[in-house]
């Protein structure tokens, strides 16, 4: 059996050095950025496909980050380069950025500047380079890490002051969501950007996605320090790449919106778990009623699971959250139908080898799974997952550990 591949994070100094070098390579030997900023990917402990249903989610920031070196310009030209696209430069003007007209990876970057302008902030063009150790296509929010690193960079070079407090970071998060939804064309909710900008080391962020809430009410930091409890959160990148712009994610979101309309509620958060059976019965005769019932059942029960998970964590009962993780995965697999063969294999193997709980994480259709393990179980569980993938003839997965880490800055 081949050795497992561990996906290591970079130190702040290493990441900064990488993008400073890339900046001079891209824009000339005498070119220097105004500074370097970075933002983390995220892993969601529980609360999947709930954010766009005004529900609850519980992410933590990864130690893996996207680094951006940026220099402001006096005009509205945007020039971008990335270590992930060597030898290429992406260029546009802010005047040319808009919904449906901006394409390529630069849409996630220029879209943030567009959204800040739309919110009334005076933002000019810029030159920027990007490098990242957030695994791409792994369901760990590489796109949000990119957007949020750019957001805090633009905030700094234009003295917007938004990154100075949580309310301002919530505004930056909203700009990043607009960039992803309206410019990049990915109909995601706001959990990824909120996690990248508003999480803190040693904590998970209990995110309440109901519209209109203040920053104080929309996000609560929950202590999530696994080391004293002798636990570890293992993340497994299945290498089954997922994409949020291929229509499946949008179809799930549309089904939830249609179900809410049929039930006469603003969103699925409005359905109390005690009233779920009645709500499902009312959908039985709708077109695609069985599908709508399954989607609603997942969302309502997942919001309830997330609330109970947070309560257990706040009570210090970390070893008791496993069954909620297991139930979450089963619901995502059976009711929401967003799991994949590789995700199920990770989850089943981890459970069989002593995981307290395991589930897919992120939007699904590939990507990553997580397992909550006792620290001494990491090596045998990793070996078992590696062997299971080899036996199934699948591409070897990647592994990383996820201590809750710092937000964008």
Phi and psi based region of residue 163 (left: phi greater than 0; alpha: psi -120 to 50; beta: remaining):
alpha
CA angle 244, 338, 46 (to 5 degrees): 90
Distances (CA, A) of 17 to 44, 153, 156, 407: 29, 16, 19, 20
* Per-residue model confidence (pLDDT) at position 80: 97
The predicted structure's pLDDT at residue 252: 95
Q: Which two tokens stand for residue 320?
A: 């008791």
**Which domains are seen in the chain, by residue range?**
10-223 (3.30.230.10), 228-401 (3.30.70.890)
Angle at 285 between CA 284 and CA 287, to 5 degrees: 105
Catalytic residues: 192
- The contacts of residue 160 (CB under 8 Å, 6+ apart) are 116, 121, 154, 168
Please give the order of strands across the beta sheet that includes 219-223.
Answer: 56-57, 203-208, 219-223
Q: Positive or negative, the Cα torsion across 254, 256, 262, 267?
A: negative
DSSP 341-401: HHHHHHHHHHHHTT-SEEEEESS-SSSEEEEEEEGGGHHHHHHHHHHHHHHTTPPPPEEEE
Taking 70 as the pLDDT cut, the residues of the chain under it are 216, 242-246
Contact 45, 60 (CB under 8 A): yes
Phi, psi of 335 (to 5 degrees): -95, -40
pLDDT of residue 245: 47
Determine the pLDDT at residue 243: 56
Radius of gyration of the chain (CA): 21
């Amino acid at each position: 059996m081949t050795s497992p591949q561990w996906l290591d994070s970079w130190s702040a100094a290493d990441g900064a050095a990488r993008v400073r070098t890339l900046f001079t390579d891209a824009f000339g030997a005498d070119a220097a950025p105004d500074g370097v900023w970075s933002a983390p990917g995220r892993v969601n402990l529980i609360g999947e496909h709930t954010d766009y249903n005004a529900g609850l989610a519980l992410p933590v920031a990864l130690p893996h980050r996207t680094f951006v070196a940026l220099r402001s310009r006096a005009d509205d030209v945007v020039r971008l380069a990335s270590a992930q696209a060597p030898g290429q430069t992406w260029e546009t003007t802010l005047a040319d950025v808009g919904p449906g007209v901006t394409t390529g990876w630069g849409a996630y970057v220029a879209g943030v500047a567009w959204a800040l302008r739309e919110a009334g902030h005076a933002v000019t063009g810029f030159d920027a380079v990007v490098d990242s150790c957030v695994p791409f296509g792994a369901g760990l929010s590489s796109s949000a890490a990119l957007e949020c690193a750019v957001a805090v960079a633009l905030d700094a070079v234009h003295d917007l002051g938004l990154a100075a407090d949580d309310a301002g970071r919530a505004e930056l998060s909203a700009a990043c969501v607009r960039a992803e939804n309206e410019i990049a064309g990915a109909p995601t909710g706001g959990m990824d950007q909120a996690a990248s900008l508003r999480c803190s080391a040693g904590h998970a962020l209990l995110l309440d996605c109901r519209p209109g809430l203040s920053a104080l009410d929309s996000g609560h930091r929950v202590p999530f320090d696994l080391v004293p409890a002798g636990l570890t959160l293992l993340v497994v990148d299945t290498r089954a790449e997922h994409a949020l712009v291929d229509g499946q994610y949008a179809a799930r979101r549309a089904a939830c919106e249609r179900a809410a309309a049929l039930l006469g509620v603003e969103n699925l958060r409005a359905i109390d778990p005690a009233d779920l059976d009645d709500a499902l019965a009312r959908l039985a005769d709708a077109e695609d009623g069985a599908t709508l019932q399954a989607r609603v059942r997942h969302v309502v029960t997942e919001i309830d699971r997330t609330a109970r998970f947070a309560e257990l964590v706040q009570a210090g009962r970390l070893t008791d959250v496993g069954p909620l993780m297991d139930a979450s995965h089963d619901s995502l697999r059976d009711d929401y139908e967003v799991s994949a063969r590789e995700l199920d294999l990770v989850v089943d193997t981890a459970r069989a080898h002593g995981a307290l709980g395991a589930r897919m994480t992120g939007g699904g259709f590939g990507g990553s799974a997580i397992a909550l393990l006792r620290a001494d179980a990491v090596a045998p569980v990793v070996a078992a997952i590696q062997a299971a993938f080899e036996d199934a003839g699948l591409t070897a997965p990647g592994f990383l550990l996820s201590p809750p880490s710092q937000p964008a800055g």
